[in-house]
Structures are given as structure tokens and as C-alpha cells.
Structure 1
């Protein structure tokens, strides 16, 4: 017994001595060496360090597990890389696009060019010129089915998103790729940290890939991007154009003739033009539904007057990201389908530089501090805003009153009376919103008294109507108008961009003989007009029960429906008048099935909900104000095509 106790005591003593020696060793061991500073970081930012002319240029094919063209072979994705010539691993700025050969990128429609061996020679846009010398690689991905990639595009669906995911997997050592001569391509030059950027379809891909939660994607910068393809191709049940998905896929198709015909036909069938319903096809292309999966930070830029990718695509995405606590910032401008690079170039490039330095290089530069939103509320008048909608914005419910042979009223009281509309497929927007005091059978106009002070509109207006129709279906259109002379952005001009080129150029990065970093300067197109359309909204009467089921109305029966207009953020000047215009078919923006319906609206149970931050500055009105000088609009004509490339 005594021996056992002695052995236990000795063992305990040994254990204690061992522990003490381990502790002493840990305390006296030299501290682990700090990682060496990045050679291209000075003064709290990345700086030009590497030669752009001497950069490594590579073209590879990334393997995928997709077979989107159903040829029995996995699709491969063409990827072009420009990276610093250094042994230091660098992060990646990536733009995936269907436009690198068919349509071009940027205001000058640039395409990729290659040398005689098929290796990338010049990239569109200035991202490579500017960021590669600062310690970034730039990677340009040909979307599946386009340029030098195989497969067939499916317009925002699993094949397109999966093809870009495969590239991020390869950059993070989870996939394989080959040079064009068959040699294995290793991504050993990168840290695996990826930031995606791009405008329109390219920005859409950034949204869609982020919604998968793919590891390695650290940030995205979607510019004028789609967050729900239904919200792009359908306007609450109303098709923008027939056979739109297949047409888009064919417009950017880079495969031999006939290869993707069946896929494109299937896209049109699944899109279901006949009903306009939100179905499984659209759900698979609705990234807002998967916002909970987003692990990347998000910097959104969007035009509040974008008539290609409507502003609802940024606002629903922004709200969903907020609900899931995704780090995010927002730039809003008053132009159309335009990149901030062509609106406020210096400020935008400064923001991008700081954003990527923070999220991809880990430089603590304070970019996430301060207000979340930078917004242009009038031409060249930028403001910082804590959030969007503006803090304190709330819906102000306004009533609609029938007029006596002309415009009706908008006021803070309850509505009264009825109005009747007759469908006119040839009604233009200029006719609908111009000269609101003149009676027309094909539209109903309502006017408020003059604003007694500046009113801040921030958020999404809605119009709720109690209506009856003499046909089983009809489109319903609402337009919110600011009546009053002012300088306004002409966002419909120059292919819905709202900008025009100047004769001068500015340079953003280093150039080579084959790849210039210098771009035409631009300016906003601003005109003085008597009124401006603030927001537009459309819906289909047969979707009064919701967007998932086409339910024709019973002629003569009363129904209630809400039209969601596009979000906006503007200051409405004192002395101006708010107007609301209701009509039926709108063939300038949509492709409705014109039914020739006659619709009666019960104004007593119809309302306009206006999102206002601060005071509304509207009073009551017994009769509509008489406006002058509102008949001729500028521009006098409008030719918005219903089929657009996003």
C-alpha cells in the first residue's frame, strides 16, 4: 500500500515538473515572426508597384461538372488572367460576362483581343490597368456558352451561376484548369480571395454567385445588376417582351449554329408568357430568395431612373441583405443604365480602390465607417445618407378625388367618386402625362396642391385601386409625376444611359500599346423641362390574387389590387405639383395582351401611398390646380424598346 502511494506521488511530481518546464519554455520561446508587409502597400493603401507592361497574361480553360449543352461532355469555362509578375500571392478582382465578344463592355463597347497563340492581349475596361500594378490579379470569365467557353447559357440559371462558381473553386484549389496547350494550370499565384464586379448582366452574375455562398468570394460590386430575373422580364405579371429568355440567350451565344437552339426554346417555354406567372423557372433565378446564403460584402450602384434594369432590382436585394446583416453600401444616381465610372469617375474609382483594399487586402482604411448611402438627388447634387430609404421615411396615405372634366385631386383626405379608363394601346407616355388638366378617355390624371416646402421622397410608392373591368384581363399602369419647371437628367437619352461623350479622355492606370487605360470623359445630359416622371409601375389585373397564379377577373365585379412603382429618392421642390396618372396598356415599356378593356376605378377605396422622409407639405384640395406649360414634354418622343440586353 505504501509503495503504491509513493509511486502515485512520484508520478504526480513528474507531471508537475513537466508542466512547469513546458510553461517556462513557452514563456521564453521567441515570438512567432509577424508576416512580412505586403510590398505594394504603403501609407494605408495599395500603390502602383508592378509593371503593367510586364504583367503575366494567361488564358486557361476551367473544368466544370456541368453539361448545359447536353453533348455528354463537361462544359469548360474560358478564363483570361492578367496578374503582377511577383512571387507574392495576390487577391483577384473578377468580372464574369457574356459580352466579351458579342457586344463589348463599357461606354466604348470594348471586347477582348488575343495574340497569335490565343493568349489574352487586351482586356476591356480599366480594372486590369488600374489594379494589377497595385497588387491585384484581374480575371475575366467568359460566361458558359459565350466567346471561348463551351456549354449553353440559361439566362441567370444554374448553368451560368455554376460556371462562375467553378472558376472561384479553381482559384481556391478546389478545381482544375488547363492552358490552351493542355498543360495543367495552377492557381498558386493567388490568395484565393475574390471580389466580383460588373455592370448589368455582369453585375447580375455577381449577385447570383454571392447568393450561393461559395467560399472564397469575399465581396461583390454589382452595378445596375438584376437580383430577380422575374422583376427584370416581368412587371408584376406583365411581360416586357415575348420569348425574352431565349432571345437573350441567343443574343450572346458564342456556340456553333444550332448547338443551343433546343436550350433556348426550352427557356421560352419555361418562362410562360401565356400567364406571366412567377413559377419555378423564375424562382431559380431569384437571388433575393437566397440572400441568407450571402457571405460576401456588397457595394451596390444603380440608377434610380434605370429603364433597363428597373430600380426594384437593387431595392429588394438591399432590403434582403440588410435582413441578414450582410455588410453593404449603396451608390444611387439619377441617370439611366449607366456605370458610375461614366458619371462621377474620380469619386467612384477612389471608392473602388478603398473597397477592394479593405475586403481583399485586409487594409483597415475606414471604408465601412460613415453613412451607408451616397445618393444623387438632382443633377450633380450628391448627398450622404445614413440608409435607404432615408431614416424616418414612412408611407403617407393620400386620397384620390374625381375631377370635373379634367384632372382629379390628390390630397391628405379620403378619396371620392369614380373614373373610367378605356384601353388605348397607342397611348404614349408624353400623351398620358402631358397636359393633365385636359380630359382624356384613355387616362385619368390627379393633381395635388403645390408643395409648401421641399419634400423628400425616399422609398417605393404604391397605388391601391378598387376596380372593375368589362374584360377578364387588362394591364394597369400608374405613373408618378413631378409637375414644375426644373433642370432634370434626361435618362432616356442615348440608349437609356442619360450621358454623352466628350472629346477629352482621362487615364486610370497604366497603358500598353495594345491596352489603353484612357477613356472618353462623359457628362450627364441635363434638360430644363416642365415636368418629370418620377416613377412608373405596372401590374396585370389577372394577378390580383398574387403573382403565382393567373386568375382572370369576372367582368363587372369589384376587385382590389396594388401597383408597386419603382423606388426613388428625390427632393420635390416647393411650388411644384405632384401628379398621378393611371392608364391601361403601356406598349412603350411592356408587351401586354391588349384587351380593349374599359375599367372603372372606385376612388373612395383607392389610395396613393407616398414614401416621405420629413414633412409632406401637401394640403387638401377640393378641385385640381390648373397647370400651364405642361403639354410639350422633353424629350418629345420616346422609343424605349421592350427587348433589351441587361
Structure 2
């Protein structure tokens, strides 16, 4: 068990006293005149919100031991508070158990071991107050900040109905807003789009949740989540549209093309009819029962933020069609921000007769969400839309080609063989769920979907105008808002290249950016025990949206990385690289990665026996697990491994391969895995559930499960990175190069970016193969590949750890 906090603000004793008093702790009014032990007892008494009388509060304190012989009450009658007694009680308040978790004789040793903050000396009133202030900001056993836990017990109920502005403590907003009184309403925002070609501007449904206090002139910022899944998905249609991947790789006709030949044309808005209301109101006429929420947003609803969910064009309640990442979807996304900041009209119904404004919004907006949700946040940021102050983009796509393609090949997002842009369009087109609405545009929808299927070009896998229109990296220079990026280093759905390229591009812009890399796959991390993610985002959003000067830019790490070799451990860096990283180059030998060149050739054949092929086609997990060990795969891949490491190393950046390769056909593809080789306990692939609905997000409000990554049973290897390339895309992604059978060609391949702790005694291994059962087409063709070893090398950045 280890706790990592990155959101704590350093404050003066004057500020601490003032902020503690703002919480309603009345005992501090004349604290210099009080005995330190008596003051401690008063403070403890004031943080038991479930007890309403002094007698009940004292009874609760009698259940807390200050020493092995005295509970708090008896201790305060005869002893003087010191650090040992203070933290014995504090740890119990934080839900750690005496004897099972810590010893009453050495509480500070436990706090040091678990990385909990503590004060070594507590003798004076100011030392006590400072320690108590920090205690309120300390994680409980679940990782939840103690003050947030107290909120779930009703500590802030005294503020309900009395709020005229948010309450700030340690630079963060506190849950003083009554979530039982939240206002739920729906509006329809007018866009400039006509994506369903009916001649009228698309109206976009938005679901709003805001504090009741906004009815009393409090203006609040907005957390906006653009989720195409928010109004439902067409899962059966998605399955029907999914492409067969058991098809052969085919040769491409050689071409000579420049980027100018395939770049996306300029997008022009349609000449569509706008709606014009004949009256205006401040009250919505439509509500909703329950949104498809994100628990981080729920956390902030108790803290004076409004939340808006909008699914966008082509979704239930809105007009238009889904277009999978195109300019239309980006403009659909920012239309909601433009309404929130007073620059666009919205109506109370789709009849559009009554206008309604976001009169309750202070004009500051942040976007939140993972995957497609974070992708649309990234897209919105690249427009430079006014009012968007920051985005928290989690597992977000920055270039849709890097999601569905790689190196001139059709590459599935991990776990979804056969998915493509058209499949996602169909799945998210929730207008289909309202039959009468759908039938009006059924034929238009069919034609548009067929067009997307053609334009995405599964035949070649090349970068073209369709993908260029969905490449947000081209517009990075337009970003004006600050950016938080969160991504899993084991995310093979939205692969790491998406966040790496975004991060690198942002370094040249005059905006603040923060990067958090965790060991998860495609997950949220706001419910992980080992990191105070929600508090970090509280510090950030309090600064960006409420404009509180809390030093968030300086306090939050620029790059934060979860260690893959040690559980519950996070490291801070200045960039996507360790400070002493050096470029290392290893050559490919007969079966090893070596520091010297080797002369010779090695080869493999991609075709498997039909029974073996059928087995792995049905279960790509088994294929990946057996790739290094199954005898039937020995002839279908090459393995090159290093000697065991003599020191722990960090491998960072983008591993690169230089190869000289020949195919027995006039076409071919290669795939690559970089792996950590050696039997050892490693972090599990998914976080372990520590408690269901353990994390309360406010008083009698919503809850979240508590999770954390833990070391799993021993495994023989761990995937670090992957890469793929079509041998006919040696020059670039849009040109088809000629490939002659059995002729050697030079090849450069960049693997997915990494930040990996490779422990001493392990080996680094490179696997070279062709068909990737999870991601590529699976033709099971009789193709042999040969490598000229003298011209083959692997390079990457590494740094030694002592």
C-alpha cells in the first residue's frame, strides 16, 4: 500500500487558520490562548458530522486510541498531545486499523512506509493546527482525501442553501453544493451544419446538470463531455457492419503521389436554413431522469460546477449524421461551447420557437472524457474556440489514421478486429432508435455510410483525403487552451502514438500541458487508490475555470508516469524522457540483440497449418500468449533477445527499426513486438477491484468503485510496444512503392512510443512476424520473409537506474 499525492498546496499558518475557519471550525477563533491538547480535542470533536451532540461526539472519540492504554478522551485529561498520539488517532480516522495496519508505538514509521504526509513534531498550537490542516488533505485507506470522506458523512451540509460562491480549501473547490437539488434540463442548440442534407441547420441536443444556486445569480463554469455514446448505441448494427479480417493481403499498384495529391479539401459550411425563435425564456421545458455520466463529472457537481453532456450530430434527439471524426463532428462539438459562451442560439424544443440562453454560465468551459469523448475534446481544442479554457483528454485519438491504420495497413484497434470508421458511424448513429425520425433520413444515411466505407479504403490501408480530414495534428497550432493528457501505456485500443504526437506538438505552443501515463489499458483512473487524480483535476479546474490563483501550473507535474515494475509507484519527469537518457543501438543477430553487426540472413514463413490458423483466428489472446513458446509458431516468427540486464533501465521515446527485408511475393507486411522477457511477477492487465462503490462523491450522492493495479502471478514476458508496416509503403503512407519478389529493400519502422521500466536480470526481445491475429488482415498466405542481418538494427533511448 502506497499513496502518491501531487495536488497539495503549501500554505502559511495564517492561510491554514483562515481556511480551517471557513470550514466552520469555530474552535480556532482564539486558538493562541488555548492549551494545545484541549485544542486538539476540540478540533476532533468538530469533524464528527454524523453525531449531533457533544455527548455523542465524545462517545465516538472514546473508540479511538491515542496510546495502547488511553482513548482520546482519557488521554486529553492526563497527557499532552505529541506527534505519536496525534497520528495514532489520525490513522484511525483515516480507516487504518491498529495492529493490522500500524503499531501504536510507531505510527510515523507506517506513514513513512506508505508515503503519507506527517509532521515529526507537534508541541505548539501552530504545529498542531498545521498538522490538522494537512490531515484533512491526507488520503484515507481508500486513497480518498479525508476531507472528501468527511463530505460523504455530511460535514458540509451546514453550507447547503447558503452558498453565494464556491468554498476553496487548499486551492480546491469543496462539496458545499446540495446534489439533491441539482437542476436537470435539456436544450437544442442550433449549429451551422446540415449533415443530413435536409436543407435545415442541424439542432443538437444537450443535457445540462447545474447547481440550484445558479437560480440565485451564481454563475458557474461548465464541464462538458461530448459523448457519441450518450444517447445509446446500435450494437447489433455494429456487429453486422464489422468487416471480415480473414482475407488475404493483396498487392498494390505502384504509384507516385505527393501529400498535395491526397490532402483533404477545404471544408465549407452548407447554405442551410436557420431557425428563428419568436420568444425567449430562462426556463427549459424538458428534463431527463439519468444521464450516462462520468464519475469525475459527478465529483465536481457537488463542488459548484455545471455539467453538460451532448452526443452530437446523428444521435438520438439531435439532427444530422455521424461522420466519425470529420470536420462536421468537430463543429458539432464546439457549437455547444459557443452556446455556453453566448455566441450561438439554443431552443427549449426541436420546434425552435423559444430561445434559451446559458445565463447561468460564467463563460469558462472545460472538456472531459475518455476515448471518443476525449478525442472530440482534442478536436474542439484544435479550433481555438473561445471559452474553452482546458481539456482533460483521456485515451484520446489525435489522428484517426493512427487508430484504424498503421504503416499502410488496415490495423484494428486492440480487441476489435474488423472495426473501422463505418462501423463506428453505425454504432453511434442512435437516431436510428427513434423510428419515425430515422425513416425521414434512412436513404440519406445509407448513402452516406456507403460513401464512408469506400473512402476509408480498406483495400489499400493508405493515408488519403478521408484520413487527412480526420488528422487533428494538422491544426495543433490553433490550440489556445491548456491541456491535460491521460493515457494508458498498455492501451492497444487508442494506441500510445496518439498521445505521444499530441504531447510533442504541444511543447511548441504557448499553452500549459500536463501528461499522465498510467499502466492501464483503455480505462479511467479517477478511482485508483495510489494517485490523487480527482484532487489533481480539482486543483487544475479550480484554477482554469474559477480563476483561483492556486499555482496549479507549478504544483502539478509536467509528466507523471506510473511504474510498471513496482506497484502503486509514480514518478515525475520534465518530459517524455528520463534526464540522462541516451540513444542505444542494438543489432539483430541470428537470435539475439547484440552490440556488434552480424553477417547472414534469417527467414520465416507466415503460413500456418489450417487447424492452427483456425485456432488462433478464434482466440487472438492465446496466439499472443503462445507466440514465444508454441512449437507450431516457431517457423512463423523470429525472436532476437538481449543478454540479461545488469542494471534496471528506463526505455523511453519511440523505438526505431532499420531493416533490410525481402518478400517471396510482390507484396507483404511485417509486424513487430518489443517485449520484456523473463519470468517475473508483473502488474495485472487490469486494475484489481478493492471495493465496490467505496468512493463517495458527495453526501448521499453517487459512488465509484475503488481499484488499483497489483502484482499478478508470474508471467514469462510482457508486451512493451508494437509496430506494423506494409512493405509497399516504404517511402510514405500515401505512395505505393514497387516490391519485387525475393529482392531486398531497406525499411524504416517506428514502433509505438514507450516509457518502460525494465528491471535488472530481464532481457529485451524483439519479435518479427507478419500476421497479427488481433490487428491485421489474416490471409494465412504462403509468404516467406528474409532479413539481411548486417543491415538490421533496433534503436531506443534508455537510462540506467542504480
- Asked whether the two chains share a fold, i.e. TM above 0.5, the reply is yes
Aligned equivalents of 2:720 and 2:522: distance in 1?
A: 16
Is 1:39 equivalent to 2:222 in the alignment? no
SS of the residue corresponding to residue 173 of structure 1 reads coil
What's the CA shift for 1:508?
4.0
Normalised by the length of structure 2, the TM-score is: 0.66
Aligned equivalents of 1:248 and 1:504: distance in 2?
A: 31
Higher strand share: 1
Quote the residue 1:119 is aligned against: 287
Quote the residue 2:581 is aligned against: 393
Q: Find 1:264's aligned residue among 445, 449, 452.
A: 449
Q: Does the Cα contact within 8 Å between 1:335 and 1:489 map onto a contact in 2?
A: no
Normalised by the length of structure 1, the TM-score is: 0.81
What's the CA shift for 1:432?
2.5
Quote the residue 1:476 is aligned against: 670
Q: Does the Cα contact within 8 Å between 2:406 and 2:724 map onto a contact in 1?
A: yes
Q: Does the Cα contact within 8 Å between 1:52 and 1:133 map onto a contact in 2?
A: yes
Q: Does the Cα contact within 8 Å between 1:471 and 1:597 map onto a contact in 2?
A: yes
SS of the residue corresponding to residue 202 of structure 1 reads helix
SS of the residue corresponding to residue 380 of structure 1 reads coil
Query: What count of residue pairs does the alignment treat as equivalent?
Result: 554
Is 1:296 equivalent to 2:475 in the alignment? no
Q: Does the Cα contact within 8 Å between 1:194 and 1:218 map onto a contact in 2?
A: yes
Q: Find 1:284's aligned residue among 469, 491, 511.
A: 469
What's the CA shift for 1:465?
0.9
What's the CA shift for 1:103?
5.1
Quote the residue 2:195 is aligned against: 68
Q: Find 2:305's aligned residue among 136, 155, 180.
A: 136
What's the CA shift for 1:568?
1.6
Give unpaired runs (5+ residues) of structure 2. Answer: 1-162, 235-283, 413-417, 433-437, 617-622
What's the CA shift for 1:325?
3.7
Aligned equivalents of 1:64 and 1:480: distance in 2?
A: 46
Aligned equivalents of 2:726 and 2:554: distance in 1?
A: 43
Aligned equivalents of 1:348 and 1:439: distance in 2?
A: 43
Quote the residue 1:568 is aligned against: 754
SS of the residue corresponding to residue 340 of structure 1 reads coil
Q: Does the Cα contact within 8 Å between 1:203 and 1:222 map onto a contact in 2?
A: yes
Quote the residue 2:628 is aligned against: 433
Q: Does the Cα contact within 8 Å between 1:90 and 1:191 map onto a contact in 2?
A: yes
Aligned equivalents of 2:633 and 2:382: distance in 1?
A: 49
Aligned equivalents of 1:475 and 1:60: distance in 2?
A: 50
Q: 1:559 to 1:503 in 2, by over 3 A?
A: same
Aligned equivalents of 2:695 and 2:633: distance in 1?
A: 54
SS of the residue corresponding to residue 290 of structure 1 reads helix
Q: Does the Cα contact within 8 Å between 2:233 and 2:429 map onto a contact in 1?
A: no
Q: 1:319 to 1:186 in 2, by over 3 A?
A: same
Q: 1:72 to 1:137 in 2, by over 3 A?
A: same
Q: Find 1:149's aligned residue among 318, 323, 332.
A: 318
What's the CA shift for 1:210?
0.5
Q: 1:468 to 1:128 in 2, by over 3 A?
A: closer
SS of the residue corresponding to residue 554 of structure 2 reads coil
Quote the residue 1:245 is aligned against: 421
Q: Find 1:255's aligned residue among 431, 447, 452.
A: 431
Q: Does the Cα contact within 8 Å between 1:177 and 1:185 map onto a contact in 2?
A: yes
Q: 1:454 to 1:164 in 2, by over 3 A?
A: same
Q: 1:346 to 1:545 in 2, by over 3 A?
A: closer
Q: 1:420 to 1:215 in 2, by over 3 A?
A: same
SS of the residue corresponding to residue 176 of structure 2 reads coil
SS of the residue corresponding to residue 488 of structure 1 reads strand
Quote the residue 1:215 is aligned against: 386
Q: Deviations over 1:602-624 (max 9, x none)?
A: 11011011221347x9xxxxxxx
Q: Find 1:424's aligned residue among 585, 589, 607.
A: 607
Aligned equivalents of 2:739 and 2:317: distance in 1?
A: 49
Q: 1:394 to 1:230 in 2, by over 3 A?
A: farther
Q: 1:454 to 1:500 in 2, by over 3 A?
A: closer
Q: Deviations over 1:11-40 (max 9, x none)?
A: xxxxxxxxxxxxxxxxxxxxxxxxxx9721
What's the CA shift for 1:175?
0.6
Q: Find 1:190's aligned residue among 342, 357, 361.
A: 361
Quote the residue 2:722 is aligned against: 536
Counterpart mapping for 1:603-622 below 5 A:
603-614=789-800
Higher helix share: 2
SS of the residue corresponding to residue 355 of structure 1 reads helix
SS of the residue corresponding to residue 553 of structure 2 reads coil
Aligned equivalents of 1:175 and 1:511: distance in 2?
A: 36
What's the CA shift for 1:96?
0.5
Quote the residue 2:3 is aligned against: none
Q: Does the Cα contact within 8 Å between 2:528 and 2:706 map onto a contact in 1?
A: no
Name the Cα RMSD after superposition: 2.4
What's the CA shift for 1:74?
1.3
What's the CA shift for 1:348?
1.1
Is 1:169 equivalent to 2:351 in the alignment? no
Q: Does the Cα contact within 8 Å between 1:500 and 1:524 map onto a contact in 2?
A: yes
SS of the residue corresponding to residue 540 of structure 2 reads helix
Q: Find 2:782's aligned residue among 583, 596, 611.
A: 596
Report which stretch shifted further, 309-318 or 118-127: 118-127
Q: Deviations over 1:89-138 (max 9, x none)?
A: 1111100001113259xxxxxxxxxxx97512223133443223322111
Q: Does the Cα contact within 8 Å between 2:489 and 2:755 map onto a contact in 1?
A: yes
Q: Does the Cα contact within 8 Å between 2:177 and 2:303 map onto a contact in 1?
A: yes
Report which stretch shifted further, 584-593 or 529-538: 584-593
Q: Find 2:219's aligned residue among 67, 89, 113.
A: 89
SS of the residue corresponding to residue 591 of structure 1 reads coil
Q: 1:51 to 1:342 in 2, by over 3 A?
A: closer
Is 1:51 equivalent to 2:51 in the alignment? no
Quote the residue 1:547 is aligned against: 733
Q: 1:351 to 1:474 in 2, by over 3 A?
A: same
Q: Does the Cα contact within 8 Å between 2:299 and 2:698 map onto a contact in 1?
A: yes
Aligned equivalents of 2:517 and 2:372: distance in 1?
A: 18
Aligned equivalents of 2:692 and 2:576: distance in 1?
A: 35
Report which stretch shifted further, 298-307 or 387-396: 387-396
Q: 1:244 to 1:128 in 2, by over 3 A?
A: closer
Aligned equivalents of 1:420 and 1:533: distance in 2?
A: 23
Q: Deviations over 1:247-301 (max 9, x none)?
A: 1100111123535222221111111111111111111111111111111111011
Report which stretch shifted further, 196-205 or 577-586: 577-586
Q: 1:599 to 1:539 in 2, by over 3 A?
A: same
Q: 1:61 to 1:447 in 2, by over 3 A?
A: same
SS of the residue corresponding to residue 350 of structure 1 reads helix
SS of the residue corresponding to residue 542 of structure 1 reads coil
Q: Find 1:521's aligned residue among 706, 719, 735.
A: 706
